[in-house]
Amino acid sequence: MSRPIYAEIDLNALKHNLARIRECAAGRDVWAVVKANAYGHGLENAVKAFADADGLATIDLCDAERARNAGWTRRILLLEGFFDASDIEPLQRLKVETIIHSPWQIEILRRAKLEDVRCHIKVNSGMNRLGFLPVEVNTVYDQLTAIKGVRVMGVVTHFANAEPSYSAQKPASVEKQLSRMGRLAHSATAACMANSAGILFHPEVGGCAVRGGIALYGVSPDSHISSEELGIVPAMSLKAKIIAIQEIAAGEAVGYGSRWIAKRPSRIAVVACGYADGYPRSMPDGAPVWVEGQIAPLAGAVSMDMLEIDVTDIPKAALGSEVELWGKNLSVNKVAAACGTIGYELLCALARRVPVRVNESEADRTSEHADG
Ligand SMILES: *Cc1c(COP(=O)(O)O)cnc(C)c1O
């Protein structure tokens, strides 16, 4: 009997979300972003579920190798490009396209023997992370096309504030970034700009392609807007079971450091999920945990392999009850907000030791369609 914790990955939800993002992309090509082990969902699962995407985008050549081994024959894009001259061989062998964001990468290309390297010029339009300034793009284009075996596919930029909760007054609003892009943004045949938030909230962005990440996994890029409102379905549910119940008197404390102290006689359930599973230790008392159709508050510091919840008001919660740490019933964004982070971080931090169950049942498909 293995430990009663697992991450359920719903392939039909992934497929549904891709269809939804494709609809919002309105004719633009869709790159499915699968970095960080497909945001914790498993790269091989993503390869299967995103078969209809135009390409996969990631940051690691190892991912490209894994995707090819899993049968992916369409395009693959390296979002930060290559990191070293030794990457050029696998890049060409695996037919991976690369971002070019810095002069040192062009230098590596100049010195290599190239057959067919497809490049996308990264433009820094105001986020100040990666890329060339818009005024440098023409020169970079000329430098790249002068190298034998190099093809320039287009330009790429990234938005710092495409989520509606970010105020339009920010120094790098979508509007300001688009304006800095100038005519580059209007190259409908060669610009790839929008991430999930850009796709969902800024149809004016345009371009020829989009890069969908978090929304493909059914999680809203803006924690103030729900998945339901966006028509996407959470694909990962982290579930564990109650393995012990403690009946304690008022004044008794729970867990390391005795952080949580009972104000009344309390029923405390011990859940088989801890920080070594990817549930943050920084989670405060009161953080939401779903059990038996209700929300129970976290009680006490999260341990390495267990956490405790107050089920005094949830009599149905008992030994063996299934608990959802995040997923379809409890949004990962809500859980993340309780400890001051975002859903992205929790999904990516899912620990390798957590068993993954892949769900693709006919029943799911039917209920999903019934929900529209
Ligand atoms: C991660 C990433 C994305 C996807 O972002 P989401 O917010 O998850 O949609 C798109 N583009 C680049 C360059 C990225 O690094």
CA distances to 2, 140, 360 from 74, in Å: 37, 27, 23
For residue 167, the model assigns a pLDDT of 81
CA-nearest residue for atom 15, ligand 1, is 79
103: nearest Cα among 125, 81, 88 = 81
For residue 187, the model assigns a pLDDT of 74
CB of 33 within 6 A of ligand 1: the answer is yes
Superfamily holding 236-358: Lyase, Ornithine Decarboxylase; Chain A, domain 1 (2.40.37.10)
Active-site residue set: 35, 256
Q: What is the DSSP letter of 339?
A: T
Expressed in angstroms and rounded, the spacing between residue 189 Cα and the centre of ligand 1 is 20
pLDDT tens, position by position, 301-352: 999 999 999 999 999 999 999 999 999 999 999 999 999 999 999 999 999 9
Contact 270, 243 (CB under 8 A): yes
CA distances to 73, 77, 86, 264 from 58, in Å: 15, 6, 18, 51
Cβ-based neighbours of 183, under 8 Å, separated by 6 or more: none
For residue 371, the model assigns a pLDDT of 39
Q: What are the structural domain ranges in the chain?
A: 11-219, 236-358
Question: In the chain, what is the straight-line distance between the N-terminal and C-terminal CA atoms, in Å?
Answer: 38
Identify residue 117 by its one-letter amino acid code: V
Question: What is the DSSP annotation of 98-131?
Answer: EEE-SHHHHHHHHHS--S-EEEEEEB-SSS-SS-
Q: Is the dihedral of CA 309, 312, 313, 315 positive or negative?
A: positive
Q: Looking at the domain covering 11-219, what would its CATH class be?
A: alpha beta
d(CA 238, CA 6): 6
- Mean per-residue pLDDT pooled into runs of 10, the chain (372 residues): 94 98 97 98 98 98 98 98 97 98 98 96 97 97 97 96 88 94 83 97 96 98 97 98 98 98 98 98 98 98 98 98 98 98 98 95 48 36
For residue 72, the model assigns a pLDDT of 98
For residue 78, the model assigns a pLDDT of 98
Helices H, strands E: what count in the chain?
13, 18
Expressed in angstroms and rounded, the spacing between residue 158 Cα and the centre of ligand 1 is 8
* Rg of the Cα atoms in the chain: 23
Q: Is the dihedral of CA 73, 365, 292, 296 positive or negative?
A: positive
For residue 188, the model assigns a pLDDT of 67
- Can you read off the two tokens belonging to residue 28? 């633009």
CB of 212 within 6 A of ligand 1: the answer is yes
For residue 185, the model assigns a pLDDT of 86
CB of 16 within 6 A of ligand 1: the answer is no
CB of 195 within 6 A of ligand 1: the answer is yes
CA-nearest residue for atom 14, ligand 1, is 79
Question: Which residues are annotated binding-site positions for substrate?
Answer: 129, 304
The percent helix, strand, coil of the chain (3-state, each to 5) is 35, 25, 40
Q: What is the DSSP letter of 132?
A: B
d(CA 44, CA 72): 9
Beta strands in the chain (DSSP E): 5-10, 29-33, 55-58, 75-78, 97-100, 117-122, 150-156, 191-194, 209-212, 236-248, 253-254, 260-261, 266-271, 288-291, 294-297, 307-310, 322-326, 356-359
Predicted structure pTM score: 0.95
186: nearest Cα among 164, 163, 215, 154 = 154
d(CA 335, CA 326): 7
- Measured from the Cα of 99, ligand 1's closest atom is 13
**Other residues' Cβ atoms within 10 Å of the Cβ of residue 85:** 13
Q: What is the DSSP letter of 330?
A: S
59: nearest Cα among 28, 40, 83, 85 = 83
